[in-house]
A and B are shown apart, each in its own frame.
Chain A
Amino acid sequence: MRALMSTSPAPALAIRGIHKAYGKTVALRGVDFDIARGEFFGLLGPNGAGKSTLISIVAGLVQADAGQVAVLGHDTVSQFRAARRALGVVPQELVFDPFFTVRDMLRIQAGYYGCGRESWPWIDEMLERLDLAGKRDQSMRALSGGMKRRVLIAQALVHRPSVVILDEPTAGVDVELRRTLWAFMTDLHRQGTTVVLTTHYLEEAQELCSRIAILDRGAVQVIEPTAQLLARHPFRFLRIKLADGGQLPEALRPLVSGEVNGAIELKLETGRHPVGSVFEALRSAGLAVEDVHTREPDLEDIFVQLTARDRAGAGA
């Protein structure tokens, strides 16, 4: 852990050589990266990639077979109290304690972290910000799924942690909660909180995260600033609708990436497939174009390309 402590100031999260296997199934194979203080960081990957296992190790719910994690320089095993006080985790599962009201639950959670009555105004503020004020005296068991999710978010923030991990916080929630949550988290991030987000809604990650790691089959496939990640794959999409039900020329068929509402989408590599060459091929074939639309690649395209390539590589 001395190596983790040597940098100054310590990163928000330092993850070093984490290995974890469940029997013969290897969940994480040497995961190693830092998250700087104040980052809004995206941890992405397909189901079974190892994201939740990694988060559980950081949170102290799972023991790594090898490797170390430090939160703000505090080792999560040997200095677990300091590490946990600096960390707030919104778990993926909708868990709650049925014996308590919303306000009791939040005050109890604050108490676990050593926060007394001085935390109550912050609890009231969170209840307002997360639209829970009207539910403060309701039993947890009487809340809807969306409301329970809001309470989970408040619970993770109740001790004002410097590092917040959101494990798929918007899975199955309505648009209103998403907007409320992102507005709240963006505010906290602006005030200096480090936010780590895992989500399957890649547009959220693209919009919010300044840096992204893609985890697949237990290893980090790529870790880059979002803008760099978006720029590293030099292709764009051209969507064309041919007039009079025309058929695409044979030469363009290998470029087809999909079909949307009767329009054909072509994936063009910059430099290799200029847009002009597509129109030239269409004109040569005597085809008229009814409609045309271009689209820059988004995170989803890059995610699919990276994880699909890695799977193909693994299968070879």
Chain B
Amino acid sequence: MTPDQIGFTTLLYKEIKRFWSVLGQTVTAPVITALLYLLVFAQAMQGRAMVYPGVSYTEFLVPGLVMMTVIQNAFANTSSSLIQSKIMGNLVFLQMAPLGPLEWFAAYLVAALVRTLLVAAAMLAVTLPFVPLPVAQPLVLLAVFLLSAGSLAAVGMIAGIVSQKFDHIAAFTNFFITPLSFLSGVFYSVHALPAFWYQASHFNPFFYMIDGFRYGFFGHADVPIASSLLWCGGFFGVSAAVCLWMLMTGYKLKK
């Protein structure tokens, strides 16, 4: 390996080890939270919510919950790593190292993908005995997963870069990530919404991530899969570009 490749793999190893050392907090806890949502909503809404023909509400719910958890954890992984390093002051070790913006970005991104893959796999494994799901479009499933987790990992890095304290990250989570993920059709089909909220949902990128992910399982979704892939790809492109620009210019990182 070249020195640059060693630098990248070391940072990736460090980022994976960081979340791995608190696995109960980074993987187990979000899985339990998502399962509680599943338990409560499946009990309360089964037979009441209008979803796709031939798909039970619980089956409909599981992919949405998995993607919502992926979104939230991809964001949490990169944003918490950066803000902790900033507040502890140990970000200087990275800033003084001969790592380029691309290696830095890629290592954080891949570590977030590994964490979200673990979370998603754990959720699907736990629910599989009760809610067996078909996989109609595996490539679409993989593409939507990678683009969605990648987008939120990049957004998490942006939040980590611009934030100066934990409160700022909490504000991102409370006023951006949580509302958009709850209003993205995790718990319902957008066709069941009043006209205004139906239209509003189409401006929420998380809606396309969840809808596209469902398409991967059922081959059926609220909007055409091309729209979902376009939105997911576009959101990833924009968030990755902004993040890379920040890393290249030292925005909020260099005084």
Contact = CB atoms under 8 A, between A and B. Distances in A.
23 contacts: A60-B95, A60-B96, A61-B92, A81-B4, A82-B98, A84-B96, A84-B98, A89-B96, A95-B90, A95-B93, A97-B90, A97-B93, A108-B14, A110-B10, A111-B9, A112-B11, A112-B94, A112-B99, A113-B98, A114-B3, A114-B6, A115-B6, A116-B6
A213 B97 CA distance: 27
Nearest to A140: B90
B250 interface: yes
B255 A114 contact: no
B137 interface: no
Interface of A: 22, 56, 59-63, 80-82, 84-85, 87, 89, 91, 93, 95-100, 104, 108-116, 155
Nearest to B22: A99
B89 interface: yes
Contacts of A110: 10
Contacts, number: 87
Given A112-B93, A114-B6, 12 more contacts: A59-B95, A61-B254, A63-B254, A81-B98, A85-B98, A97-B85, A99-B18, A111-B9, A113-B3, A113-B97, A114-B7, A115-B3
B interface, over-half SS: helix
Contacts of B98: 80-82, 84-85, 112-114
Nearest to A81: B98
A205 B93 CA distance: 26
A113 B2 CA distance: 11
A95 B85 CA distance: 9
Given A61-B254, A108-B14, A97 B88 contact: yes
Interface in B62-103: 85, 88-90, 92-100
Contacts of B97: 84, 109, 112-113
Given A61-B255, A81-B4, A93-B89, A99 B96 contact: no
